[in-house]
Amino acid sequence: MTGQTEVRQTELGGLESVWESGMEDVYAFYRESAPPQVALAAALVESAVDLQRLGGPAPDPPQLLLGDLCLARASRLLAETGEQALQVGFAQAVERVAAAASAGSRDPGLRDLLLAAITGAR
Amino acid sequence: MITGGRLEVTSDRPTQFVDISTRLQDEVTATGLVSGRVYLQSLHTTLGLAVNENEPLLLQDLQGTLERLAPRDVAYHHDDFTRRANIADDEPVNGHAHCRQLLLQPAFTLLVENGRVILGRWQSIFAVELDGPRQRSIALQLDGEFAPSGARAGACKNDRDRELVELELARQLRVDPESVQLPMRRLVEAGGKRLRPLLVMLSARLGPRQEPLRAAALAAAIELIHDATLVHDDYVDRAGIRRGRPTVAAAEGASQAVAVGDFYFAKATRVIAELGNQEVTSTVAAAMETICLSQMDDVRLRGLYPGDFDVYLRVVRGKTAALFAAACRAGAQLSDARPETAEALSQFGDLLGIAFQMADDLLDYSESSGKPRGQDIRERVLSLPLIYATENDRVGPRIRELLAGSVSEEDVGEIQTLVSASGALQRVGQDARDLATSAVSRLDAIDVDGIRPVLADLARSAVDRVR
């Protein structure tokens, strides 16, 4: 687990299974372009959208709630960075993906949106 | 001096006892009537008024009495449209409803002392719908001694706060894509007490930086977070009705409910971030995480149903009280209030949130709440009346026996009857009132700049929804 050493255990509380089911790899991807806390926030947002199957059939309630926790934790991590541009950029990314899913229109590509938010905040 | 107005009431069933006690008290408070009388007059021939006890089984009895005295399924001359002139296309078959109205009162007078409508311990005021569902109006006149305008300035300011929150909510929703906006508007426009946004607005008056428009933006965002959690909760709990209207999951489908909830979580987060106050952003983000953890805890604990008081308190503190506390703390932080003020308000919000949830649990046993009765039992949602009733030696064993298997509709009815008979509803009501009092006492140590009575009134109205 390459990333777990820099991710505090408290940040994964309740989400250990999500981390082991692929979030670790997503974190490693974002870690190439962002500091640990921001990379983890991005990985959490991606995991939330996957868990909640936005744009697809509805998830089971436990998955929905895990996804909600991922989104909330990402917000808290971003709040701790104190970087307003990141907070706004990440929120707008989720808004766009959720709106597209709800309208049945083309997926705007969450990863690109998050990377743009990370780049734009620099 | 005399003043007046109209009380609008919406019913969602053919016969329904709608408890208007709190709303009437709100009207009295808003006008500043200190001592005098309130005159109420139904403006409909199939809407009656009554003062009686809001006890679910009694309301069934009262409804049964009306049914026996003027049955729906017998012939009424009034319903023979061939013998009547000028019949409208939508003329209802409602002879029974007119006859039932004779058994109730079309108008009455209530006394007011020290700004409070005088009611006995068990008395509630009802608008009695006899031919619903419909939108109804009740005329009000208030007559007597009113507080001087200076003392009413606080109440007027509260009205302005409410108006500002509603305008900001409408403004926020108007710019959103229709696919998410329309379902959320249905929920937002269905009402709700707006307690959390009002707590933001009041708390935001306590620091040196008072900016009502920024406070309204925060207040609307807090309400949207609350509503987003409701949209997801309703899917998890398989609830079909919320605030008397279909839930997003029921009307638009589960996938839409997920997307709508996510959209408004994110939007609220963005609106708060755009305020540019780091403390506020952190307070709300921490509360959102607490809410999610507690929601997972709640679902996990349904296997241990009905649980005990400690488990209940832990879950409710996270699921409900965390956002009340955050609304108070964040409002204070937005106005640059002193840290001890923010802390005291947060404690007030925490206790008020728990009290509010206890009162909310009672609505599952109420005929007039707008929620389907027994839903908490069907979905195995933690509920204090049920916990207290299972502790009762007389009815507890039977309730546990019924809950052990799959619960049929008949079982739900029997459990409700047993809980009502156990005295648990009265105990929960008293607990909620005690907690609300305790919440207000947390404000004693700080200077709350004249809003203490408003917060105390808000606390009282939060727990007085069911008597």
CA distance A25 to chain B (A): 23
Q: Which residues 223-242 on chain B approach chain A with CB closer than 8 angstroms?
A: 232, 235-236
Chain mean position to CA B326: 19
Chain mean position to CA B212: 25
Are B102 and B158 members of one domain?
no
B294 neighbourhood in chain A, CB within 8 Å: none
CA distance B181 to B176: 6
In the 3-class helix/strand/coil scheme, how is B372-418 assigned residue by residue? CCCHHHHCCCCCHHHHHHHCCCCCHHHHHHHHHCCCCHHHHHHHHHH
For A30, the enclosing helix (H) or strand (E) is helix A24-31
Residue A91 sits in which domain range?
13-121
CA distance B262 to chain A (A): 6
CA distance A38 to chain B (A): 15
| Sequence-distant (≥ 6) Cβ neighbours of residue B283 within 8 angstroms | B326, B329, B330, B333
Of B147, B168, B197, the one marking the end of a domain is: B147
CB of B259 within 8 Å of a chain A CB? The answer is yes
Select from A73, A79, A94 the Cβ nearest to the Cβ of B262.
Answer: A94
Closest to B162 measured CA to CA, from B26, B351, B34, B40: B26
- Evaluate whether residue A98 is within a structural domain: yes
Are B120 and B177 members of one domain?
no
CB of A92 within 8 Å of a chain B CB? The answer is yes
Average pLDDT per run of 10 along chain B, which is 467 residues long?
83 90 82 89 96 90 95 94 84 94 95 85 91 91 80 66 92 95 93 91 94 96 98 92 88 96 98 97 98 92 83 96 98 97 97 96 79 81 93 93 89 93 94 95 84 87 71
Select from A61, A62, A71 the Cβ nearest to the Cβ of B262.
Answer: A71
Are B48 and B158 members of one domain?
no
Mutate: best of B233, B234, B252, B262, partner A, most A CBs <10 A: B262
CB of B299 within 8 Å of a chain A CB? The answer is yes
Rounded to the nearest 5°, which phi and psi values hold at A18? -70, -40
**Interchain contact, B282 vs A79, CB within 8 Å:** yes
| Sequence-distant (≥ 6) Cβ neighbours of residue B121 within 8 angstroms | none
Neighbours of A21 (CB within 10 A): 13
CA atoms A60, A63, A67, A69: torsion sign = positive
**Interchain contact, B258 vs A52, CB within 8 Å:** yes
Specify the residue for token string 């007389």. B394
- Evaluate whether residue A105 is within a structural domain: yes
- Evaluate whether residue A49 is within a structural domain: yes
For residues B235 and B246, the answer to whether their CB atoms sit within 8 Å is no
Are B133 and B159 members of one domain?
no
**Interchain contact, B289 vs A101, CB within 8 Å:** no
CA distance B75 to B61: 23
Average pLDDT, rounded, for chain A: 92
Number of domains comprising chain B:
2
- Evaluate whether residue A2 is within a structural domain: no
CB of A66 within 8 Å of a chain B CB? The answer is yes
Of B88, B113, B147, the one marking the end of a domain is: B147
CB of A78 within 8 Å of a chain B CB? The answer is yes
Are B90 and B224 members of one domain?
no
CA distance B458 to chain A (A): 29
> Strand, helix or coil at B73?
coil
Number of domains comprising chain A:
1
CA B360 → CA B288, B354, B381, B403, B459, distances in Å?
21, 10, 12, 21, 13
Are B134 and B231 members of one domain?
no
CA distance A103 to chain B (A): 5
| pLDDT digit string, tens, across residues A57-72 | 999 999 999 999 999 9
Mutate: best of B230, B248, B255, partner A, most A CBs <10 A: B255
Are B130 and B161 members of one domain?
no
**Interchain contact, B235 vs A73, CB within 8 Å:** no
CB of B292 within 8 Å of a chain A CB? The answer is yes
B265 neighbourhood in chain A, CB within 8 Å: 68, 71-72, 94
CA distance B22 to B464: 7
For residues A81 and A69, the answer to whether their CB atoms sit within 8 Å is no
Neighbours of B142 (CB within 10 A): 22
For residues B320 and B356, the answer to whether their CB atoms sit within 8 Å is yes
- Evaluate whether residue A4 is within a structural domain: no
**Interchain contact, B267 vs A14, CB within 8 Å:** no
Are B360 and B261 members of one domain?
yes
| Sequence-distant (≥ 6) Cβ neighbours of residue B377 within 8 angstroms | B364, B383, B386, B403, B407, B412, B415, B416
- Could you tell me which residues are beta bridge partners of residue B112? B36, B117
Specify the residue for token string 């009740």. B138
Chain mean position to CA A17: 15
Residue B207 sits in which domain range?
152-463
Of B88, B118, B147, the one marking the end of a domain is: B147
Are B302 and B431 members of one domain?
yes
CA distance A32 to chain B (A): 25
Are B158 and B140 members of one domain?
no
CB of B451 within 8 Å of a chain A CB? The answer is no
Residue A57 preceded by cis peptide, ω within 30: no
For residues B328 and B462, the answer to whether their CB atoms sit within 8 Å is no
Complete DSSP assignment for B268-334: HHHHHHHTT-HHHHHHHHHHHHHHHHHHHHHHHGGGGTT--HHHHHHHHIIIIIHHHHHHHHHHHHH
CA distance A81 to chain B (A): 9
Instruction: Tell me the residue ranges of DSSP E strands in B119-167.
Output: 124-129, 135-146
Residue A59: closest CA among chain B residues belongs to which residue? B255
CB of A110 within 8 Å of a chain B CB? The answer is no
Question: Residue B340: which CATH number?
Answer: 1.10.600.10
CB of B282 within 8 Å of a chain A CB? The answer is yes
CA atoms B35, B41, B47, B51: torsion sign = positive
Question: Residue B80: which CATH number?
Answer: 2.60.120.460
CA B265 → CA A7, A65, B239, distances in Å?
25, 13, 20
**Residue B211 DSSP label:** -
Closest to B239 measured CA to CA, from B421, B325, B363: B363
Are B119 and B173 members of one domain?
no
For B339, the enclosing helix (H) or strand (E) is helix B339-363
- Evaluate whether residue A106 is within a structural domain: yes
Are B357 and B435 members of one domain?
yes
Query: What per-residue confidence (pLDDT) applies to B217?
Result: 97
Rounded to the nearest 5°, which phi and psi values hold at B410? -65, -40
For B37, the enclosing helix (H) or strand (E) is strand B33-42
Say yes or no to pLDDT of A8 above 80.
Answer: no
- Evaluate whether residue A88 is within a structural domain: yes
Length of chain B counted residue by residue = 467
For residues B177 and B259, the answer to whether their CB atoms sit within 8 Å is no
